Amino acid sequence: MDEVLQTAVSKHGHTIRVTVKQWAHISAAHDYMSGNLDKVLETIAEPTRIIEGEQGESLALRDYESTNITRKTSVVVYRDEPDGFVITAFFTSKPQKIERKGKKLWSQSQENS
């Protein structure tokens, strides 16, 4: 099994792992993500909204006023299940495009109301 770099607990109480191999893949595909592992973990643990992906994966979104590349929304795609794992992660300036792709599973505003 691949070495676990870090873990975060999802809104559903599952431990989601980020493996060394997956983080290397994310950093290679999206070089601006290097140095943003903390934001990836924070997005899993404290998202502002979660969207359902096309293959049953969860997409956690969290807005950041500033990142290493300006104001962005962090998107983390992961399996929200026991022994869950991160599939990929990236920043976007068009979160509404991602939100239109799937059903909203959870949002911070629901929890606060």
110 inside domain: no
Q: How high is the pLDDT of residue 1?
A: 60
Does 71 reside within a domain?
Answer: yes
CA distances from 5 to 11, 17, 56, 70, 112 (A): 20, 7, 24, 26, 32
pLDDT truncated to tens, each residue of the chain (113 aa)? 689 999 999 999 999 999 999 999 999 999 999 999 999 999 999 999 999 999 999 999 999 998 888 889 999 999 999 999 999 999 999 999 999 989 999 998 877 65
Domain that holds residue 22: 4-99
Segment (H or E) for 26:
helix 20-29
Domain count for the chain, please give it. 1
Examine residue 111 and state whether it is found in any structural domain, yes or no. Answer: no
41 falls within a domain: yes
